[in-house]
Structure formats: C-alpha cells, structure tokens
A and B are shown apart, each in its own frame.
Chain A
Amino acid sequence: MKGSKLIRISNRFAKYMFELRRNITVVRGDSGTGKTTLFNMVADYTRNKEQSGVNISAPCPCVALTDVNWEAQLRDIHESVVFIDEDSNHNYLSSKDFARAVQNSDNYYVLITRENLHDLPYSVEEIYEIKKSGKYHLFRNIYNSQFDNGYLHDEQPTQPFNVIVTEDAKSGFQFFQAVFEDNETVCIPAGANSNIHSVIRKDPEGKTVVIADGAAFGSEIDRVLKLEKSGFRICLYLPESFEWIILRSGLIDGVEDILASPSEYIESQKYLSWERYFTALLTEQTQDGYLAYRKAKLNENYLNDNEVGAILSVLPEVIRRKRKTI
C-alpha cells in the first residue's frame, strides 16, 4: 500500500482525525488521552460495520486486530489500516513473529504501545500522542523539530562535539569520517541502531553527535534522548537516511517530486521503511554515472569539493561548521 491516508473516526462521544503517511504509526503518551477509546471504536466497527454506530471515513478499510489468534486474523486483512492496542492484545507486539508479519504485509499499522519495538523499523516522525479538546482528538508528533532536513535535537548548540556516531560503517560513515574526523573529532560506527546508546555512554565528558536514519530510529529515540537526564550531551540528527541527504543535496536531478511527497511513491510492501527506498532510488538514479552509488563502499567522487559542499548544505549548521580544514 502507498500514499497518505486521512482518517476520521467518530461516535457520539469522540471524534478523531489523523493522517497516516507510512506503514507504521506508533501512538503513545499519557494515560487518559483516548488511545484505547480509539481502538475500541475501530474494534466495534470491525465487528459490526455501520451497525456499530461508529463512523469511519478513510480511503481504505480500518480494522482492529482483536483475535487471540492474531496471525490468522491478519492473514485475511489486506490493503487496510490495522489498529493494535497493547492493552487489548496478548503481548505479541514485541515478538519477532509480529515483526515478520508486518514485513510481509500490504497493510498500514497503527500501534498503540509504549514499548520500543526494537524489531520494527519505524520513523521518529510517525510517533504520536493524542491531544484532545472536548470530543475532538488529534494526533501530535512527540518528536518535533523546526529543522527542515530531518529531526534535530540539540540542547547545547554552542558546545562543540568530539564524537560522531553512525549506525554502521557503510557509505554514510565513510563520508562523515572523511569530512569530519581529525585530532579533535572521532567517528564511530555503532554496528547497529540498538548499540548507539552504548557508544554514547562511553564518553561521559564530551558531546556526541548521533547521525542515524530517522526512517528507522523510532525504537531507539526514547532511550537515547533520556540519556540527557544522566548528564550525557547529545546532538541527535535524524535525516531519513544518508542516501536521502544526497538526494536532497541537489546533486541528483529528477527526484524533487518524490522528495516532496515520498508517501505517494513508496510501496510499503516492497520497502518496509523509507530509507530502503531512498537507497534503491539513489542507486538507480546514479548507476553508470560518475556518482554511481554503492552503499557498502563510498564512491570517492562524493568526496570532491563540490559534492561535499552540496551534501553538507543539507546538514544542520551545528554539525556542518565542524568540517575539518584540509
């Protein structure tokens, strides 16, 4: 399934309106905000359709996963928005079986849970809380930043950083290492998203910049940001992915429409999360050219002055200004 989905759900007590842009949306936040009420309304509709008295306006079916045998129920659901509430399920949301089911699915999912779900790649932009005013309930991003080119969190922007952590040692790491690593700054590949918090904890004195794929960092952002409560200084920069930065830099022609509304182009069954699509897109758009992109090993042409300048222009100033002088 692809495309954004504007959904309105209402009954005599409550009205919900929200837009889903990706295959996985997570809803959490304070108790008493109406999360389970939303799920119960969709569940009533799933059982009784229009005779439930619940009104649903959506471009595709909305279904609540209510069966104990969730795998059997899910097998029969296609091209739908599937709602799951941790309070109503049987504790399978964090299972590898559920992650596998989502991976092979043509549905979108609204997961009402506070668990981090480390086996699911979901975006920091699709984590919401519910804000209500009387009967009216709206989704609001929990992680919001004013920066245009990804999510940026830096509570101490004037303090220089001395560590850059990336998820792995592939092209993105190789680029940042070539451009930033010097006597003052070290670049470290964490090996996996789930190791990033461990790398941060190894440097309690300095300041760490985390550059990771925002498209798949949803399961990590809470515990990484909470390290600030323990005194760790963190700048968290989460573009969709390194490939998205290159596509966004202006070096690649013909991708403007896609970047303006990725939802309309990304088939969720083929690309579980957006960074996989952007890797495929960049690889395809540059094949046989001088910027031919390979994820495993950075094409050295990306380290030419012009290319470095274009790529850095996408990054926030707080990172960009630390570029080493050659």
Chain B
Amino acid sequence: MLNIYFGDMPEAIYNTSVYFRNTYKDKWITTELSREMIRDIDKSEVLSETLIQSPIFGPMPPTQLSGGVKTLMLIAYDRNHIFNAHNCGDNCAKWILKIAQMRKDRIVINLRHLMDFGEGEFKIRVMNTNKIVRNMAELTLQAVDFV
C-alpha cells in the first residue's frame, strides 16, 4: 500500500535527479513500466538501456529524462530509500498509484504539496495522521494541514 508522509521528512532523498544519476540501473530503463511512463510523461521512446528518443532533444541518455520520471523509477525500483516526490507533477500521480499496486510491499513517499490523485478510488495511508483514505476528498482533509 502507498504511504505518504506530508511535510518535512529529513530522511527522504530530496534531490532525486542527482540520486538517480548516480545510482540508476540500466535494466530499469527498458522495463515495460518505465517505457510507458517515459512515453506518457516525457513523450519519448526508449530505444535501449542507454538511449531515449525525445521529441525535443533527439537521442538522449536516461539522465536527461524529466525529474518526475526519474523519481517514479526510483520509487518503483529502489526499495531501500524514501524519496521526496516534489518534482512529480499531477501527471505522475496515476503512475505512483500503479507502482504501489504492482509492488506488494509497503511503499513510502514524501510530499510537500497536495498532489492530485484524480477522481477515482485508491488506498493511501496518510502517515501524519495514520488514517487510510480512499479518494481525494478524504486525502485533502487529512493532508491539508501539512502542506
């Protein structure tokens, strides 16, 4: 289940782009999940583990992906750390929910803004209040004091 801590969380890795650049694994890039996220958010196509075709930059390395996509991959594949998803826009929200569904273990992320998880139902534990919420109406009421 997805767990979110809203507000300052010193143990969360804040500069996810730097962390990604120094730690990502080639095999992350070519998974079906990563291909879909990169296509959806960066409008780019994965050509290989080391090469991505961007409509803006042309051929580019994975380190040049958007901060949002890099953070999503860290959340999906690095199980040893907590990441601040500050550079994930609302267009990353559905992918965070999907990653949480795919991963069977407990996922923790840190947010300092109220991400819009859309109109649908979901299951998120707000760690600040230890309440489980199932839609944006409930999430807003639990999180609004901490952002």
Chain A residues packing against B (C-beta within 8 Å): 13-14, 28-34, 36-37, 86-91, 94, 113-116, 132, 134-135, 197-198, 201, 222-223, 226-227, 229-231
With a CB–CB cut-off of 8 A, which chain A residues contact B56?
Answer: 13-14, 34, 37, 132, 135
With a CB–CB cut-off of 8 A, which chain A residues contact B92?
Answer: 31
Q: Which of A113, A132, A229 contacts B86 (CB 8 A)?
A: A113
> Can you give 14 contacting A-B residue pairs, CB < 8 Å?
A13-B57, A14-B56, A31-B42, A31-B69, A32-B66, A32-B69, A36-B87, A115-B86, A115-B112, A116-B113, A197-B144, A201-B144, A226-B114, A230-B136
CB of A94 to closest CB in B, whole Å:
7
With a CB–CB cut-off of 8 A, which chain B residues contact A89?
Answer: 15
Known: A29-B89, A34-B56. A88 touches B114 (CB 8 A): no
- Interface SS majority for chain A: loop
CB of B120 to closest CB in A, whole Å:
12
Identity of the chain B residue whose Cβ is nearest the Cβ of A227 in the assembled complex: B140
Interchain CB contact under 8 A, B88 and A31: yes
CB of A134 to closest CB in B, whole Å:
8
CA A239 – CA B52 in complex, angstroms? Answer: 46
CB 8 Å contact bits of B111-127 with A (1 = contact, 0 = none): 01110100000000000
With a CB–CB cut-off of 8 A, which chain B residues contact A113?
Answer: 86
Identity of the chain B residue whose Cβ is nearest the Cβ of A229 in the assembled complex: B136
CA A275 – CA B14 in complex, angstroms? Answer: 34
CA A78 – CA B15 in complex, angstroms? Answer: 27
CB of A114 to closest CB in B, whole Å:
4
With a CB–CB cut-off of 8 A, which chain A residues contact B15?
Answer: 87-91
Chain B residues packing against A (C-beta within 8 Å): 14-17, 41-43, 55-57, 66-69, 86-92, 112-114, 116, 136-138, 140-141, 144-145, 147
Count of CB-CB pairs between chains A and B under 8 Å: 94
Identity of the chain A residue whose Cβ is nearest the Cβ of B91 in the assembled complex: A30
Interchain CB contact under 8 A, B140 and A226: yes
Identity of the chain A residue whose Cβ is nearest the Cβ of B142 in the assembled complex: A230
With a CB–CB cut-off of 8 A, which chain A residues contact B90?
Answer: 30
CA A230 – CA B55 in complex, angstroms? Answer: 39
Interchain CB contact under 8 A, B112 and A36: no
CB of A81 to closest CB in B, whole Å:
22
With a CB–CB cut-off of 8 A, which chain A residues contact B89?
Answer: 28-33, 114
Besides the contacts A87-B87, A226-B114, what 11 more A-B pairs have beta carbons closer than 8 Å? A14-B56, A28-B89, A30-B91, A87-B15, A113-B86, A114-B89, A115-B112, A135-B56, A198-B145, A229-B137, A229-B140
Identity of the chain A residue whose Cβ is nearest the Cβ of B60 in the assembled complex: A13
Q: Which of B14, B91, B144 contacts A226 (CB 8 A)?
A: B144
With a CB–CB cut-off of 8 A, which chain A residues contact B68?
Answer: 30-32
With a CB–CB cut-off of 8 A, which chain B residues contact A223?
Answer: 114, 140, 144, 147
With a CB–CB cut-off of 8 A, which chain A residues contact B88?
Answer: 31
Smallest CB-CB A-B distances: 6 pairs: A31-B68, A30-B89, A32-B66, A31-B89, A30-B91, A114-B113
Interchain CB contact under 8 A, A32 and B113: no
Interchain CB contact under 8 A, B66 and A31: yes
CA A94 – CA B61 in complex, angstroms? Answer: 31
CB of A112 to closest CB in B, whole Å:
9
Interchain CB contact under 8 A, A116 and B147: yes
With a CB–CB cut-off of 8 A, which chain B residues contact A134?
Answer: 55
CB of B11 to closest CB in A, whole Å:
13
With a CB–CB cut-off of 8 A, which chain A residues contact B113?
Answer: 114-116, 222
Q: Which of B16, B91, B114 contacts A222 (CB 8 A)?
A: B114
Interchain CB contact under 8 A, B43 and A230: no
CB of A211 to closest CB in B, whole Å:
20
With a CB–CB cut-off of 8 A, which chain A residues contact B138?
Answer: 230
CA A325 – CA B117 in complex, angstroms? Answer: 45
